[in-house]
Amino acid sequence: MDLQLNGKRALVAGASRGLGYATARALALEGCLVAINSRYPEKITGAARELSEECAIKVIGLSGDVTSPGVPEDLVQRTIDGLGGLDILVTNSGGPPAGRFENFDDSAWRNAFELNMLSHVRLIRAALPELRKSKAASVLTITSFSVKQPIPNLILSNSIRAATVGMTKSLALELGVEGIRFNSILPAWTKTERVHELMAHRAKVNGTTIEEEFARQSKDSPFGRMGRPEEFANAAVFLVSPAASYITGLMLSVDGGIYKGTL
């Protein structure tokens, strides 16, 4: 299938590693010009260089913390300047700290809201004028399967990512008339660098091995394993591509069957 991505221009936030990097790589392999972002200048510069060399396509690295109010607008403008426009926006950020409800004060809630809600809001708001010029405008918010099935000890993420999904669906309804599509992917446990770090921490706390912790967590999936970043990226790239032109307002679980509901 031709995804019709050749020559399209994309900005992927949170893309120096993990799901964001995998998504940017898959876009670049389809011929998409890509801007990738991370708060760490050295990491994003290196990631952009690696992708550009591997995919033989223009990839630019943009540093900046998406939780800072002025950064999302700056990232969008630098993408437009560097790529000549914008067709695809992928909003993505890390998760807030784990803990129970009583662990967190107002400051923790505000920080989580900045990270997992306002970063999406600001990026989308900044990108809309340019997306309106595109004949293949698409926005993808990366959230979590926890919006359907809350994860224990993740009250901040469970709550605020659900708000992002509500916004995504609302924008699909509001801006569909302008031809701009909005979808969200709800991933579960995926073998990223971040998850490896979490499993290493669990192993240290529990006196086990990383392999044991991966195996224990993987039991939640009917497949008996975690997802691979490229499996997530394949779904993401299809959703943002013109090949999915009649799909909007979709909250797609890419979770290996961990979510046990029927809707």
Digit-by-digit pLDDT tens for the chain (263 residues) are 899 999 999 999 999 999 999 999 999 999 999 999 999 999 999 999 999 999 999 999 999 999 999 999 999 999 999 999 999 999 999 889 888 999 999 999 999 999 999 999 999 999 999 999 999 999 999 999 999 999 888 899 999 999 999 999 999 999 999 999 999 999 999 999 888 888 888 888 899 999 999 999 999 999 999 999 999 999 999 999 999 999 999 999 999 999 998 87
* Residue 4 belongs to some domain of the structure: no
Same domain, 218 and 146: no
Residue 261 lies in a domain: no
Distance CA 76, CA 12 (A): 10
Q: How far apart are CA 89 and CA 73, in angstroms?
A: 13
How remote is the C-alpha of 77 from its chain's centroid? 20
**Distance from C-alpha of 252 to C-alpha of 141, rounded to nearest angstrom:** 11
CA pair distance 182, 27, nearest whole angstrom? 17
Rounded distance, CA 179 to CA 60, Å? 27
d(CA 92, CA 99): 21
**Structure token digits, residue 227:** 């997802």
CATH code (residue 238): 3.40.50.720
Same-domain pairing of 209 and 81: no
Do 62 and 168 fall into the same domain? yes
Q: 222 is in which domain, residue-wise?
A: 191-226
Instruction: Establish if 19 belongs to a structural domain.
Output: yes
The SS3 assignment for 63 reads strand
Q: Are residues 19 and 133 in the same domain?
A: yes
Examine residue 54 and state whether it is found in any structural domain, yes or no. Answer: yes
User: Exposure pattern of 193-229 as b/e (b: 16+ CB <10 Å)?
Assistant: eebeebbeebbeeeeeebeebbeebbebbeeeebbeb
Residues 59 and 136 in one domain: yes
39: which residues sit within 8 A by CB, 6+ positions away? 63, 64, 65, 66
Query: 28 and 90, same structural domain?
Result: yes
All residues at 6 or more sequence positions from 252 whose CB lies less than 8 Å from its CB, including other chains? 183, 184, 185, 186, 235, 239
Residue 68 lies in a domain: yes
Instruction: Judge if 143 and 201 occupy the same domain.
Output: no
pLDDT confidence of residue 182: 98
Domain assignment present for 201: yes
Quote the CA–CA distance of 243 and 118 in Å, as a whole number: 29
The confidence score (pLDDT) of residue 256 equals: 95
Report which secondary-structure segment, H or E, holds 184. strand 181-187
